[in-house]
Amino acid sequence: MFAFKVGKKNIGNQCNIVRWFLQALMLFILLLFSVVIFLKLYDDPIKDKTKNTLKFSRSSMMDSDAEAPCSMKNVCPGNHIGFFVQSGAANVVPPKICINNNLALGTVLNNAGGGINVVVVNGKSGDVLKTDHFNMYSGSVEPLIELLKNIETGSVVLMAVFDEGSTKLSEEARTLISEMGSSSIHSLGYRDNWVFVGGKGMMGKSNFEKYIKSDSSKNKYDNWPEMVEVEGCIPKYVE
């Protein structure tokens, strides 16, 4: 009789243990499921934050372009050419180049693109002669070289990088740009940001150039550094 009572109590204890184990297992499965869902939704918070920042930047830039594409701080004398050059932001916001407070290349005109963006200006009149962009990641450098060689002496040349501007950039192309006054073109590397204003037949180095190297520990936009820009006035070309 005593042995029977003990056996019944043991069976009750075993049932409680099994019930507790099943409840703990269900709780663990629910917790694991919640963690998996959380990781899928927030796989890379920093990256998501960067994407949101870039989306906001693009929206802000497009709104700014629509309202006032060029808003130069300086007023240039009549015998000068005014300019504003802004590089792209990562691979999201295209660059912008303005001549005499008028947009020559940018989002609104839909004539900017990945790689090196170029605007050629008549150094005597200030008229825009040519706008183009050259894919330096998967494109060919030859069209850029041809353009650089055919630019007339006395022309003002403005350049801005968008996304990646160095992969296909040959030594010949770098030298041609250097001869227009660039000090940084030979250093331009993968996803570096760069803007430059020089001229064909220019003597010496340009004062209008900014270059920032891509550095994963310092980049503002994940794999890309922050935008750079230059603004100023260049005397019209006199033969």
Composition of the chain by helix, strand, coil, percent to 5:
35, 25, 40
Q: Please, which pLDDT band fits residue 224 given cuts at 50, 70 and 90?
A: very high
Can you tell me the distance from the alpha carbon of 95 to that of 15, in angstroms, rounded to the nearest whole number?
A: 71
Q: What is the pLDDT of residue 13?
A: 63
Q: What is the pLDDT of residue 206?
A: 96
Can you tell me the distance from the alpha carbon of 181 to that of 175, in angstroms, rounded to the nearest whole number?
A: 10
pTM of the model: 0.74
Contacts of 198 (CB under 8 A, 6+ apart): 156, 157, 177, 180, 181, 182, 206, 208, 209
Q: What is the pLDDT of residue 12?
A: 59
Q: Is the pLDDT of residue 235 over 60?
A: yes
Cα 228 to the center of its chain, rounded Å: 10
Please give the average per-residue pLDDT across 130-155, as a whole number. Answer: 97
Most confident segment among 25-29, 43-47, 55-59, 169-173: 169-173
Residues written for the chain:
239
Amino acid code (one letter) for 157 = V
Q: What is the pLDDT of residue 74?
A: 82
For the chain, the average pLDDT equals 85
What is the percent of the chain where pLDDT is above 70?
A: 79
**Residue 229, number of CB atoms within 10 A of its CB:** 14
Looking at per-residue confidence, does 45 or 231 come out higher?
231
Q: Is the pLDDT of residue 64 over 70?
A: no
